[in-house]
Amino acid sequence: MARPARHSDDIQIELFLDMLAAERGAGENTLGAYRRDLEDFSIYLAGKRGTVADASTDDVRSYLQSLSKRGFAAASVARRLSAIRQLYRFHYAEGQRGDDPAAVIEGPRRGRALPKVLGVNEVDRLLAAARAVVAAGRTPGERLRAARLNALLELVYATGLRVSELVSLPISAAERNARMLVVRGKGGKERLVPLNDAAKTAMAEYRALLADGGHDADGKPVKAKIATSKWLFPSFGDSGHLTRQHFARELKALAASASLRAEQVSPHVLRHAFASHLLHNGADLRIVQTLLGHADISTTQIYTHVLEERLKSLVRDLHPLGET
């Protein structure tokens, strides 16, 4: 009895996902997350002999309560509600429903976690450790692996790129006179990000070792690959470029040599450091939004605690009645 209903729900969900991919440029990871969330909602409704098409506001509210009983955190419940809201907003806009059962439901209250951020001194230690590993490399393969990690590290801290954007940079990013990176971010949207001298130098040193060494950082021949690869950080894997997981592992290993805990350091933490350090030194929030590729300023506002601390510091240091 439940199978036809589930089949109907599958069609409804796939139509919504097709819209996300076509109109909003949603990637595979985003689509997969939406699919899992909405399929779980559909399974819950089927257990109540209902479907996505005929679910009521009470059904949606009951589902959210069931998530809480299953031990879901408030953030996870809010994410599921967001997926359901967007699904029904789409159905309403397409005329598939005459109402929106999720429109009046309020999400769970949750505090927004502050991003993990490394201090300037900690980032300096990490960068110094990466450069030391390059200098200490005994074989061409060791030096190349170290130079690649150093280039990745300098780039992510200089630009604040998402790790997926970083590892998939094209070879053109390493052009000698390049002052800006053209980055294709979420939804296929492009943005310009300036390059500093340290990042350009690190990229040039890495590319020189890769071209001259004849082998990649894993010891495999690269002559043919260099001639044909379109990636700055090529790999023999399915993607053709270094994976984000590989970079994250190497970064955590480097953290130990910089006397930092592995859990403190990740590509995303360095992206946060880029944004926080810019704001702390006076950058405008809108500029940081543009550099990070955030579509909505509300996403960038997780860094307002940095601005608050900076304002307090300015008042303390500059106001005539500030602390002495």
What are 246-261's pLDDT values in tens digits? Answer: 999 999 999 988 999 8
Q: What is the spatial distance between Cα 13 and Cα 234, in angstroms, rounded to a whole number?
A: 36
Q: What is the spatial distance between Cα 150 and Cα 158, in angstroms, rounded to a whole number?
A: 12
Q: Which two tokens stand for residue 218?
A: 């894993």
Reply yes or no on whether the pLDDT at 3 is more than 80: no
Identify the three-state secondary structure at position 54.
coil
**Which amino acid, 107?**
G
Residue among 91, 162, 244, 246 flagged as catalytic: 162
Could you tell me if residue 269 is inside a domain?
no
Beta bridge partners of 184: 190
Is residue 189 part of the annotated active site? The answer reads no
Residue 247: predicted pLDDT: 93
139 and 25 in a common domain: no
165 and 77 in a common domain: no
251 and 191 in a common domain: yes
Residue among 145, 271, 272, 277 flagged as catalytic: 271
What's the total number of domains in the chain? 2
Residue among 184, 186, 191, 225 flagged as catalytic: 186
Q: How far is CA 298 from the centre of its chain?
A: 16
Could you tell me if residue 164 is inside a domain?
yes
pTM given for the model: 0.62
Question: Confidence band (pLDDT; 50, 70, 90) for 37?
Answer: very high
133 and 22 in a common domain: no
Reply yes or no on whether the pLDDT at 296 is more than 80: no
254 and 134 in a common domain: yes
**Among candidates 148, 171, 156, which has minimal Cα distance to 218?**
148
Residue 14: predicted pLDDT: 93
- Position of tokens 């419940």? 77
What CATH number has the domain bearing residue 83?
A: 1.10.150
- Which of 216, 240, 264 is the endpoint of a domain? 264
79 and 40 in a common domain: yes
Q: What is the tens place of the pLDDT at every residue in 119-170? A: 899 999 999 999 999 999 888 888 889 999 999 999 999 999 999 999 999 8
Is residue 162 part of the annotated active site? The answer reads yes
Could you tell me if residue 306 is inside a domain?
no
Question: Confidence band (pLDDT; 50, 70, 90) for 1?
Answer: very low
The residue count for the chain: 324
Residue among 63, 157, 206, 303 flagged as catalytic: 303
Q: Show the domain range for 236.
A: 121-264
Where b means 16+ CB within 10 Å and e means fewer, 234-270 reads bbeeeeebbbbebbbebbbebbeebebeeeebbbebb
Could you tell me if residue 60 is inside a domain?
yes
Is residue 319 part of the annotated active site? The answer reads no
Q: What is the DSSP letter of 206?
A: H
Is residue 271 part of the annotated active site? The answer reads yes
45 and 127 in a common domain: no
49 and 137 in a common domain: no
